[in-house]
A and B are shown apart, each in its own frame.
Chain A
Amino acid sequence: MTLKLVVWRQEGPNDSGRFETYLAKGITGHHSFLEMLDVVNQELIHGGKEPIVFDHDCREGICGTCSMVINGVPHGGQDRTTTCQLHMRNFKDGDTIYLEPWRSKAFPIRKDLMVDRSALDRIIQAGGYISVHAGSPVDANAILIAKKDADYSMDAAECIGCGACVAACPNGSAMLFTSAKVSHFAALPQGQVEAKERVGKMLEAMKDCGFGNCTNHYECQAACPKGIDVKFIAKLNREYLKSVFC
């Protein structure tokens, strides 16, 4: 296949970017999307040009590093698929593909398709943990957890922190991300003691980082490569109200 790529190129955070067009030649259906970009980059280097900068690492859909908007949709829009697991058999010979970085005020562009997602770390640092010291906690079976609670908690814990939810949201909200972490802990007995404080601090950090609020567009759920459910945002809201009024 030969494809036309229209790619956002930007030197640095303070430069104005522009779209540039490249041809991806000799691509097969077996190429993953990032392997297709590798091929393009090799050609750019051989032609004396600078390769396209993009973030990636594990290339098996779990580390959450890869991040690009493909034809207007974070991760390219295939259900429950990160960019690294998207394969070129989903495209046709001659297709034009638009490539942009995650779009959000809270994610400044570093270069080309690479953005700064440290705001997500700051939300976790504000309280996305259980404050237990390493050492000698009680036996793991001393506190029982109902299977349905453990499963619910695990459903939320699957979030890989890629930030697609933010990039997909018209408000640039990090509610799905934050709600996944809050719900993960809220379902467990271990997370209860700090629950009130946690939800407040994390929401505060979210606001400070420049993320918007949720107005129920559900774009986040549609873009999430791990299928994190918007029901967790409802849970987050309940946890927040509980922390204020109960």
Chain B
Amino acid sequence: MILDGKSPTGPTEETWDKYRNDMKPVNPTNKRKFKVLVVGTGLAGASAAASLAELGYNVDAFCYQDSPRRAHSIAAQGGINAAKNYPNDADSVWRLFYDTVKGGDFRSREADVWRLAQVSNSIIDQCVAQGIPFARDYAGYLENRSFGGAQVSRTFYARGQTGQQLLLGAYSALSRQIKAGGVRIFPRTEMQDLILADGVAKGITVRNLLTGEISSHVGDAVLLCTGGYVNVYDLSTNAMGSNVSAIWKAYRKGAYLANPCYTQIHPTCIPQSGDYQSKLTLMSESLRNDGRCWVPKKRGDNRPANQIPEEDRDYYLERKYPTFGNLAPRDIASRSAKEQCDDGRGVGPGGRGVYLDCRDAIKRLGEDVMRERYGNLFEMYEQITGEDGYKVPMRIYPAPHYSMGGLWVDYNLMSNIPGLFVLGEANFSVHGANRLGASALMQGLADGYFIIPYTLANYLSGVAPGGLSVDGPEVKASIEDVKLNIQKLLSINGKRTAAEFRRDLHHVMWEDAGMTRSKESLTDAIRKVPSIRKEFWENVNVPGTGTGINQELEKAGRAADFLEFAELLARDALHRDESCGGHFRVEHQTEDGEAIRDDENFTYSAAWEFKGEGKEPELHKEPLKFEKVHLAVRSYK
């Protein structure tokens, strides 16, 4: 089946304005008759819930955290892009659009990316009006800095806590609406199922994580804003609770899942130090401005780093990429580090690390200057590893960081299920196969503040409010299903914990479907994942009961969904017989390790349809057209 993304036709620059003029609004007095269910309260969810309540809709918002202020958007550090051109360096909406399409390795829709670039400026205006303390210069104007993948300085930031400040902005807008009665908030509540009536999304079934109560909520539209799925790798930079469950349940109800193989691996993380480890911590990529990456030339050279003389060191990035050197882009730097380690020259526990050495910069600039530039990062590194990066080289290793795939949506942010909208990282829309820095925060807020208020209205204008009774047969069936699933998990009484199964899955996903993939490794993953899943359902140990707080039950439920999703990720990666962005197939590379795309055969988004338990999913393609930005090789030479 050929999918239609419903991008408006005509000149790209006019698409969003034209769409807004053509859309059907909802009469203000009718808005209050509609109920919208928003799942997830990060940047996308909180901004959407607040905006919709402001417009007059009734909103029910759900999150698994104890407060919407704790969503994982809070952890983003670097900044948010906008095409303001305040620094007068020739930035424009067109240039941001161009950089984003190219950065995504030509695997996103032009019209969607255009809209993101266009509304980016309004996001900054909105956030400043909300009181977000962005960095300012001495004259009182907003400061900018530059980020990877762009030649201009367009990144707005609030110290190293931009995500936190933007989320607190959206959270305060949400809090205002909670007080005003427009939003009912359900914290510590996790979505367990999507409810359809005649093929239309009309409700969700949730578990109250404090009481264990299973209940349903019905509404006129469902918005999934539940973030990314890279915790399929277990060890990632994501929060412990980040999960795939909400979008996976929607997939099982018929929503297409697009491009799951596109995951971003970030090169500058603190390496794993043992099997007990719960996550990988990201350090800012800016360190590579002054740090040099190297490994010992000889395998098994376990002298302390400072005793390895210059001639025995391999500055592999400088050797392989003389022009970009240590500032090679994320995907290249990540792959190169893993290559060195796979070759037996990695450093630190298990040989999973490379040195990031600031010795020369400290010699050149002095420790004080370095402290001023990166002090907080050195502190963080010391806190976690107990090593002083000023005295011995730091160690880094790549880690899964961000999902570029997600539920398939059209230009309205609506999935193929009518009434089911997907916002932010949970959808697949604007990033293509790769994401440039400072663009994730932009997407979350663009979707929530500036896109969904229009496109949802367009949908609701054709809907009669109150379509489903909370006692209807669809609702009862959903509640039964959820209860049965929980009962099943609790009754297995096996020998191994959910965390142990997650660790098994991590090993398969990282080795076979991680930074580099091949036909063989992916075929292997598709074989291994079902056997872990099978053992899980026979041998998992979930202590306690379904009533009340049971964190192991929460973990087991999420693990069960990851164990299914992992196979789809591998399947998508296997079918995409090309290299692009965050998807690198070893069969498709140049002699010096550059990715080779296959535009002739793969210029499409891959959307997968669930066909039933144990059956192969069906692939649907949405062809991509590039009219404004011409298909070209991404080169970093």
A positions within 8 Å CB-CB of B: 12, 28-32, 34-35, 38-39, 42, 45-46, 48-51, 53, 55-60, 62-65, 81, 85, 87, 89, 110-111, 114, 116-118, 120-121, 124-126, 128-141, 143-147, 150-151, 153-154, 157-158, 160-161, 184-185, 187-188, 190-191
Contacts of A130 in B (CB 8 A): 129-131, 172
CB <8 Å contact, A59 and B239 = yes
Contacts of B125 in A (CB 8 A): 136-140
Contacts of A150 in B (CB 8 A): 133-136
Contacts of A146 in B (CB 8 A): 136, 140
Bound Cα distance from A63 to B67, whole angstroms = 10
Bound Cα distance from A164 to B588, whole angstroms = 52
Contacts of B544 in A (CB 8 A): 50
* 6 A-B pairs closest in CB distance: A144-B140, A129-B172, A137-B129, A140-B128, A153-B133, A150-B136
Q: How far is the CB of A144 from chain B (nearest CB, A)?
A: 3
Contact (A132, B240) CB under 8 Å given A29-B386, A60-B75, A62-B74: no
CB <8 Å contact, B140 and A125 = no
Which of A50, A124, A160 is the one whose CB lies under 8 Å from B164? A160
Contact (A85, B383) CB under 8 Å given A51-B551, A145-B136: yes
Bound Cα distance from A117 to B70, whole angstroms = 12
CB <8 Å contact, B138 and A87 = no
Which of A60, A89, A153 is the one whose CB lies under 8 Å from B279? A60
CB <8 Å contact, A161 and B386 = no
B positions within 8 Å CB-CB of A: 47, 50-51, 54, 65-72, 74-75, 84, 86, 122, 124-131, 133-142, 158-159, 161, 164-165, 168, 171-173, 175-176, 178-179, 187, 210, 239-241, 273-274, 276-279, 281-282, 383-386, 449-450, 453, 495, 497, 499-500, 541, 543-544, 548-549, 551-552
CB <8 Å contact, A65 and B543 = no
CB-CB nearest in chain A for B548: A12
CB <8 Å contact, B277 and A35 = yes
Q: How far is the CB of A203 from chain B (nearest CB, A)?
A: 16
Contact (A51, B543) CB under 8 Å given A12-B548, A137-B125: yes
Q: How far is the CB of B504 from chain A (nearest CB, A)?
A: 14
Q: How far is the CB of A30 from chain B (nearest CB, A)?
A: 4
Q: How far is the CB of A228 from chain B (nearest CB, A)?
A: 13
CB <8 Å contact, B274 and A157 = no
Bound Cα distance from A63 to B41, whole angstroms = 13
Bound Cα distance from A154 to B164, whole angstroms = 11
CB-CB nearest in chain A for B545: A50
Bound Cα distance from A144 to B143, whole angstroms = 12
Which of B69, B159, B187, B239 is the one whose CB lies under 8 Å from A161? B69
Contacts of A144 in B (CB 8 A): 139-141
Contacts of B75 in A (CB 8 A): 58, 60, 62-63
CB-CB nearest in chain B for A205: B179
Most chain B CB neighbours (cut-off 10 Å) among A28, A45, A126, A128: A45
Contact (A63, B543) CB under 8 Å given A141-B86, A154-B158, A190-B131: no
Which of B138, B187, B273, B500 is the one whose CB lies under 8 Å from A30? B273
Bound Cα distance from A118 to B544, whole angstroms = 26
Bound Cα distance from A58 to B273, whole angstroms = 18
Contact (A125, B178) CB under 8 Å given A59-B279, A118-B66, A130-B131: yes
12 A/B residue pairs, CB under 8 Å, sorted by A: A12-B548, A30-B385, A63-B75, A64-B69, A110-B549, A117-B67, A118-B187, A121-B69, A125-B175, A129-B176, A134-B47, A137-B128
